[in-house]
């Protein structure tokens, strides 16, 4: 059991206590346990049980509950709470916008015991009549239910990749072949996956069927399957799984056909093709058998198209002209600039965050803890900013040539102002500006808010532009063009937040940003040393949008980044000159 499972269990217990109207301080205690676990930087499961209180800082009773979880998968209080709560009501806790207290009302007053019953009650206009509810709340509930419906049967990229890779290994073992590959959305690195598609070369497809039918996590769908295609779903997520069983000589053709989006395969790239001559890649594949994907594009007279780009969004036109860019790679990144330490809500100290990154071979770290408005995340008061910067100076002396840049993730307040006065903002090497509150603005207001932040001379970089959490919450709507244009005008870098829940800026806007000359930064937003690894997802998104090393902010060297920050700060006029207009 990993720490996250523990944290989830304690959060659930806290919600259930609240649902059952128990002592608020008891609730806070459970939340406190979850928060304490979140800050830990080691797997609790590996700690000697008797050492738990000392190692975790938890109270004896909380530590005992953690131990119980580790040994039995649950703890007594949680079991009790679950036993007095209908499963459908527990599930309702996941609905955005309503919390335990509103759910209690719905349950007690309307007898609603499931999401479906809730939807029915809302559609009958019964919810809006409850005390404390209203028309808007009812509509918000229906909208949230709609969103969670849409999220069903989908996985974030990392989970989809893990599932796909696991199946590849099992099929390779069962079929005694290396020729099993991931295709489809996972190979194209889509941020959300609905279909996990694999291709396996085998002369014994029945062996593959037998294996796939026997796997615990999969549910077969015989109606959609056939002798050469196993289809079903991953049981818990409901995501579709498809395994095509093909002859060895057909492997490359099938892999290719199952990788590209339909628009890529069926786009006419030879407008004047003679009769019978292939005009699309699909037609070419029908005529000829290939053994390497590079040979397919070569035969078509096209530049090789990386799987990430095979979306049918204009890449073939570029490939025809041999103008596809050389895409960014993991190894091009030389530092990481939006990360948290335990000064705010991160798990690790400045030193730990820096040494880990240095030992991974990177040249610099940008620390951007939360600003003072982010109370929930232990945002830094000006005094603590000062203290942190002093500590960074000391560490920089010791760790040189590795360098920590002094940043901040400054909240963009409701009116678009940055958190902190100019004198404080001026003390940072750079400022990442992000929205964390009041996420329900309409497009006009949300855009104006961002534009105002971008115009602020202290804004170096725009953080997660829409605030979206994939499969969990829609971002606030923004006018992408206006935001990107403003970033171009004010030389503000846009981050591709590499956290797999965010992947924001959306890759579909990367090309537009690049065309406007906006540099992008692959930012893991790490709250833990393990979080740096998320940068690879950000690289995938950049690649999908055609991002190159040259246009990637954190592909710059330490010296280049230092020079960039210094030059940008030098351009800021003295605070008094814009004070009246901006603050």
Partner DNA sequence: GCCGTTTTCGGCCCGACTGTTTTCAGTCG
Q: By C-alpha distance, which of 182, 321, 200, 296 is closest to 251?
A: 200
Closer residue to DNA (CB): 313 or 439: 439
User: If binding means CB under 7 A, how many residues of this protein chain bind DNA?
Assistant: 44
Cβ neighbours around 3 below 10 Å, total: 19
Q: Is 256 in the site for DNA (CB under 7 A)?
A: no
Burial of 441 (0-12, 13-18, 19+ CB in 10 A): middle
Chain positions 341 to 380 lying near DNA, rule: CB under 7 A, are: 373, 375-376
Quick one: tokens of 323?
A: 């103008």
Q: What is the DSSP letter of 464?
A: S
Q: Which is nearer to DNA, 316 or 373 (CB)?
A: 373
Smallest gap from Cβ 176 to DNA, in A, equals 48
Per-residue DSSP letter, 189: T
Choose, by CB under 7 A, the member of 124, 135, 165, 210 that binds DNA: 135
Window 23 to 42, contacts with DNA (CB under 7 A): 23, 25-26, 28-30, 32-33
Q: Which two tokens mark 184?
A: 């489809």
Q: Take residue 320 and report the two structure tokens written for it.
A: 């025809």
Q: For residue 182, what are its two tokens?
A: 């991931």
| 55 forms part of the interface with DNA (CB under 7 A) | no
Nearer to DNA, 340 or 436 (CB): 436
Residue 182 or 412 having the CB closest to DNA: 412
CB of 125 to DNA, least distance (A): 12
Terminal C-alpha separation, the chain: 49
Residue of the chain from 35, 38, 41, 59 that contacts DNA (CB under 7 A) = 59
463 vs 542, beta carbon nearer DNA: 463
Q: Which stretch binds DNA (CB under 7 A): 128-136, 260-268, 270-278, 504-512?
A: 128-136
Residue 335's contacts (CB-CB under 8 Å, 6 or more residues apart) are: 357, 362, 363, 364, 365, 366, 554, 556, 558, 561
| Cβ-based nearer residue to DNA, 71 or 76 | 76
Q: Tell the smallest beta-carbon distance from residue 435 to DNA (Å).
A: 9
User: Minimum distance between the CB of residue 554 and DNA, rounded to whole angstroms?
Assistant: 24
C-beta of 442: minimal distance to DNA in Å? Answer: 10
| Shortest Å distance, C-beta 14 to DNA | 10
Residue 17 or residue 555: which is nearer to DNA going by CB? 17
Chain positions 389 to 448 lying near DNA, rule: CB under 7 A, are 413-414, 436-441
Asked if 388 interacts with DNA (CB under 7 A), we say: no
Whole-number Å distance between alpha carbons of 232 and 195: 10
Q: Are 543 and 327 a contacting pair, CB within 8 Å?
A: yes
Residue with tokens 């902190």: 420
- Continuous H helices in 176-274: 184-187, 205-214, 251-259, 262-266
Segment lying near DNA (by CB under 7 A), choices 20-28, 171-179, 236-244, 301-309: 20-28
Give the shortest CB-92-to-DNA separation in angstroms. 10
Compute the residue count for the chain.
Answer: 583
Quick note: the x/- pattern for DNA over 83-112, rule CB under 7 A, is -------------xxxxxxxx---------
Does 338 sit near DNA (CB under 7 A)? no
* CA distances for 410 relative to 371, 385, 419, 432, 456, angstroms: 5, 12, 6, 6, 12
How far is Cα 221 from Cα 539, in angstroms, rounded to an integer? 35
| 153 contacts 221 by C-beta, under 8 angstroms | no
Q: Which residues bind DNA (CB under 7 A)?
A: 23, 25-26, 28-30, 32-33, 58-59, 61-62, 77, 96-103, 128, 131-138, 140, 373, 375-376, 413-414, 436-441, 469, 473
């Amino acid at each position: 059991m990993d720490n996250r499972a523990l944290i989830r269990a304690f959060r659930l217990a806290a919600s259930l206590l609240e649902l059952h109207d128990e002592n608020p301080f008891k609730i806070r205690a459970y939340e406190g346990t979850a928060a304490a676990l979140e800050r830990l930087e080691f797997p609790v499961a590996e700690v000697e049980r008797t050492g738990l209180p000392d190692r975790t800082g938890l109270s004896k009773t909380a530590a005992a509950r953690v131990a119980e979880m580790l040994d039995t998968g649950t703890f007594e209080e949680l079991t009790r709470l679950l036993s007095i709560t209908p499963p459908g009501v527990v599930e309702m806790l996941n609905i955005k916008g309503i919390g335990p207290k509103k759910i209690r009302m719905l349950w007690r007053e309307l007898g609603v015991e499931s999401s479906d019953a809730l939807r029915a009650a809302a559609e009958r206009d019964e919810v809006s009549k409850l005390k404390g509810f209203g028309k808007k709340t009812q509509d918000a509930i229906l909208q949230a239910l709609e969103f969670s419906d849409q999220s069903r049967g989908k996985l974030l990229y990392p989970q989809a990749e893990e599932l796909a890779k696991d199946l590849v290994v099992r099929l390779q073992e069962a079929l005694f072949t290396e020729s099993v590959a991931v295709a489809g959305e996972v190979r194209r690195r889509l941020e959300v996956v609905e279909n996990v598609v694999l291709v396996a070369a085998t002369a014994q497809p029945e062996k593959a069927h037998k294996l796939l039918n026997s796997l615990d996590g999969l549910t077969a769908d015989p109606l959609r399957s056939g002798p050469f295609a196993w289809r079903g779903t991953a049981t818990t997520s409901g995501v579709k799984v498809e395994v095509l069983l093909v002859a060895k000589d057909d492997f490359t053709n099938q892999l290719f056909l199952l990788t590209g989006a339909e628009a890529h395969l069926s786009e006419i790239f030879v407008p004047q093709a003679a009769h019978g001559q292939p005009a699309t890649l699909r037609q070419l594949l029908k005529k000829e058998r290939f053994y390497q994907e590079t040979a397919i594009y070569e035969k078509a007279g096209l530049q090789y198209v990386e799987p990430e780009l095979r979306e049918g969004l204009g890449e073939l036109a570029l490939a025809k002209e041999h103008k596809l860019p050389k895409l960014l790679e993991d190894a091009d990144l030389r530092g990481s600039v939006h990360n948290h330490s335990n000064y705010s809500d991160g798990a690790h100290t400045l030193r730990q965050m820096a040494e880990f990154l240095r030992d991974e071979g990177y040249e610099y770290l940008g620390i951007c803890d939360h600003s003072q408005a982010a109370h929930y995340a232990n945002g830094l008061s000006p005094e603590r900013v000062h203290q942190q910067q002093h500590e960074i100076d000391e560490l920089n002396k010791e760790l040189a040539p590795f360098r920590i840049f002094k940043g901040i993730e400054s909240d963009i307040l409701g009116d678009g102002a940055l958190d902190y006065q100019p004198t404080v903002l001026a003390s940072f090497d750079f400022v990442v500006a992000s929205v964390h509150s009041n996420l329900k603005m309409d497009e006009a207001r949300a855009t104006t808010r961002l534009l105002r932040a971008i115009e602020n001379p202290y804004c170096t970089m725009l953080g997660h532009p829409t605030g979206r959490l994939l499969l969990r919450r829609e971002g606030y709507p923004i006018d992408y063009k206006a935001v990107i244009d403003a970033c171009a005008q004010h030389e503000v870098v846009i981050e591709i937040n590499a956290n797999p829940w965010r992947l924001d800026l959306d890759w579909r806007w990367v090309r537009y940003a690049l065309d406007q000359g906006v540099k992008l930064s692959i930012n893991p937003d790490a709250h833990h040393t393990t979080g740096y690894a998320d940068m690879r997802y950000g690289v995938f998104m950049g690649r999908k949008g055609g991002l190159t090393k040259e246009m990637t902010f954190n592909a710059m060297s330490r010296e280049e980044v230092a020079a960039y920050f210094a030059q940008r700060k030098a351009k800021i006029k003295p605070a008094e000159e814009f004070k009246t207009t901006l603050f």
